[in-house]
Amino acid sequence: MGYTLIDGKATSAEVKEEIALEVNKIKARGGKAPHLAAILVGEDGASQTYVESKVKACEVCGFESTLIQMPDNTTEEELLLKVEEINEDDNINGLIVQLPLPAHIDVKKVTKAILPKKDVDGFHEMNLGRMLAGEPALLPATPFGITMLLKRYNIPTKGKHCVVIGRSHIVGTPMSVLMNRPFDCTVTLAHRHTYNLKELTQMADIIIIAIGKPEFLTADHVKEGVTIIDVGITRVKDELSPRGYVIKGDVKFDEVAPKSLYITPVPGGVGPMTIAALLKNTLIATQAQQND
| Residues labelled catalytic | 54, 98, 121
Helices marked H in 183-251 = 197-203
Is 163 in contact with 201 (CB distance < 8 Å)? yes
Is 23 in contact with 283 (CB distance < 8 Å)? yes
Helices (H) and strands (E) in the chain, counts: 10, 11
> Of 154, 156, 124, whose CA–CA distance to 140 is shortest?
124
Distance between CA atoms of 224 and 157, rounded to whole angstroms? 16
Beta bridge partner(s), residue 219? none
Is 174 in contact with 196 (CB distance < 8 Å)? no
Is 63 in contact with 23 (CB distance < 8 Å)? yes
Taking the CB of residue 176, how many other CB atoms lie within 10 A of it?
21
Torsion of CA 78, 109, 275, 69, to 10 degrees: 10
For 30: left if phi > 0, alpha if psi spans -120 to 50, otherwise beta; the answer is left
HSE-up of 142 (CA within 13 Å, CB side)? 21
Distance between CA atoms of 275 and 67, rounded to whole angstroms? 15
